[in-house]
């Protein structure tokens, strides 16, 4: 119990964690784990590098003419991946407040199922949190201003993941 209160107090006193907690489903532990694991979001050249660092990109198998994508690679920090999956699943299943991420995730869930959609939303949440950290913006429930680049950067990086998931046999 004392550890939980300490983590809540630490997250409450940190400005960046306060911004992360504006995202529906993100709790103090998730915000602190993301901040401590990533440490410097500017060291990642692209959103794809961030997602692959967290193990949220599809595993590739290439040999000759064969080119298959599999399940997520699970490289990187397993604890943070778990902590990102939880708010993503809550964002899709329990949160009743409309967000563009939720509507996008529900479209994927209808096609591919809730588990794959939750992984895709977890990847998207990690990218949004990274962009929030870099730009200093707050979470916006609808479409973001394009001059900040949050929505544009997420939109550019996610289709690769979704296409690879769609190609997988169920």
Q: Is residue 80 part of a domain?
A: yes
pLDDT category of residue 57 using cuts at 50, 70 and 90: confident
Interior CA angle at 41 toward 38 and 43, to 5°? Answer: 105
Q: Is residue 44 part of a domain?
A: no
Q: Is residue 139 part of a domain?
A: yes
pTM of the complete model: 0.77
Q: Is residue 136 part of a domain?
A: yes
Q: Which has more pLDDT, 155 or 58? A: 58
Element (H, E) at 72: strand 66-72
Query: Reduced to 3 states, what is the DSSP secondary structure of residue 69?
Result: strand
Q: Is residue 131 part of a domain?
A: yes
Q: Is residue 66 part of a domain?
A: no
Closest CA relative to residue 133, chosen from 18, 6, 4:
18
Range of the domain at 97: 2-39+71-166
Q: Is residue 62 part of a domain?
A: no
Our CA dihedral for 117, 166, 107, 90, rounded to 10 degrees, sits at 0
* Domain count of the fold of the chain: 1
Cα–Cα distance measured from residue 94 to residue 92, given in angstroms and rounded to the nearest whole number: 6
Query: Reduced to 3 states, what is the DSSP secondary structure of residue 44?
Result: coil
Is residue 133 over pLDDT 90? Answer: yes
Is residue 125 over pLDDT 70? Answer: yes
């Amino acid at each position: 119990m004392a550890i939980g209160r300490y983590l809540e107090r630490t997250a409450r006193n940190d400005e960046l964690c306060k911004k992360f907690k504006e995202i529906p489903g993100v709790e103090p532990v998730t915000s602190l784990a993301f901040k401590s694991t990533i440490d410097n979001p500017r060291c990642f050249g692209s959103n794809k590098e961030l997602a692959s660092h967290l193990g949220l990109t599809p595993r590739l198998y290439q040999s000759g003419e064969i080119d298959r994508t599999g399940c997520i690679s699970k490289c990187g920090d397993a604890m943070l991946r778990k902590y990102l999956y939880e708010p993503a699943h809550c964002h899709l299943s329990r949160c009743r407040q409309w967000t563009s991420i939720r509507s996008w995730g529900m479209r994927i869930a209808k096609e591919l199922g809730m588990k794959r959609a939750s992984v895709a939303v977890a990847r998207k949440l990690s990218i949004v949190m990274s962009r929030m950290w870099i730009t200093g913006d707050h979470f916006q429930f609808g479409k973001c201003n394009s001059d900040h680049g949050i929505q544009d950067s997420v939109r550019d990086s996610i289709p690769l993941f979704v296409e690879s998931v769609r190609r997988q046999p169920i």
